[in-house]
Amino acid sequence: MAVAPATSMHGPSAPPANMFDTVPGYEGTVAGGDGGYLPPPMPSVPMPVPEQAPSPPDWHIPSISEDRARQAFATYVSSKCCYSSAPVREGVITNMESFNTYRYRLETFMESRSTEWSQEPYTGQAVDAGVQPAPGPWQIAAQPPAFFQEHKQTIKVPYTSSVKNCHLCLGMGKTPCTTCAGAGNKVCRVCNGSGYRQSDDRCTHCNGRGRENCSSCSGSGSCQCDTCHGKRQLLIFINLNVKWSTEKDEFVAQDSSGLRGQKLEEVSGKELFKDAQYMVYPVRGFPDVSVAQASERFVRDHQVKYAQTSRMLQQVPLSSYVYWRGTETMYLYFVSPCELSVLSHP
């Protein structure tokens, strides 16, 4: 039986190179992978931009009450086996200082698109290449998920489908069997090719031939092509890969609180500010200047890094005031056995 030569099994894994330029607008599309993320088109109507940034909010940084401080002190003392509770009952709080930790996070929800040549066995699917121009990658409608939910979608680009002979089997539908190298038989596993058993009796498994039919191809020397599944032809087309993702940057400002960054997710805090827009403004007028600087840097960096290859759908800046509830980082300073001079936030 005539089959494709064995060398064809390692040929190209997708449409031949001369087909990459047949679809206007998709010249950079490659096979077996993507051609890189495609920059979104410039909007036909510029996005409206306010004349000036919104007025900064009137920041109210909450502070802990004396009762709350004393309760935290009592909790801390009760957790130690040898600490006296007398300072809790009799001590006088003469001064309290705030050691605040602020966390600013900027989240940008984006949509990015890439294309790739794909293929599947041809079983009579519609062939539409050349019927009319294919829509551009950013003209194809895709259903986005809810904001800030990761999601992927693959869409077959209309008017890019055509048929070609399978490149792996050269249109034969079969490829040489890899187990027997196309011979259809192999060395007998019982007599190891000698044709006889140890007793000089003729091997009944191979009838003395020393070779047995290959079980993988049933002795034919060829197997169904894995690429076209024996159909001999492939439908080739362009797939559009749409990806929705969220990019995050975070900045933590500490004022000698001692709160370790990895503990932030384990403590509760108070949300001071939240905004959600197509493009947000940096936070302005925040009491901690380092937070305002980080906000301005993140907003600028996100626009520079991501707007070139993705379409921004939404941005959310978050600024949080966090106070530590655990006792291991509580700051306690004693001036005398009965007077508590400084107690930090619990």
Residue 232 included in any domain: no
Give strand pairing partners of 59: none
Residue 153, in any domain of the structure: no
pLDDT digits (tens, 9 = 90+) for 54-67: 666 777 777 777 88
| 76 located within any domain | yes
Confidence band for 309, pLDDT divided at 50, 70 and 90: confident
Q: Which of 18, 38, 31, 23 is nearest to 161 (CA)?
A: 23
Would you say residue 91 lies in a domain? Answer: yes
Q: What is the dihedral of CA 189, 191, 195, 196, to 10 degrees?
A: -160
Average pLDDT over residues 73-91: 82
Which stretch of 278-287, 305-314, 326-335 has the lowest confidence by average pLDDT?
326-335
Residue 243, pLDDT > 90, answer yes
| Across 16-20, 97-101, 199-203, least confident range | 16-20
Name which residue leads in pLDDT, 215 or 333. Answer: 215
Q: Is 71 helix (H, G, I), strand (E, B) or coil?
A: helix
Instruction: For 245-301, give the DSSP string.
Output: EEEEEEEEEESS----GGGGGGS-EEEEEE--BSSPPPP-S-SSHHHHHHHHHHHHH
**Residue 59 in domain:** no
Number of domains within the chain: 1
What is the arithmetic mean of pLDDT over 151-170? 94
Which of 38-47, 104-113, 261-270 is the most confident on average? Answer: 104-113
**Do the domain assignments include residue 94?**
yes
Domain, as residue range, for 72? 66-108+243-343
Predicted local confidence at residue 256, as pLDDT = 61
Q: What is the pLDDT of residue 71?
A: 83
Single out the residue of 248, 339, 320 nearest to residue 104, CA to CA: 320
Amino acid 9: pLDDT: 38
pTM score over 0.85: no
The answer to whether position 265 is within a domain reads yes
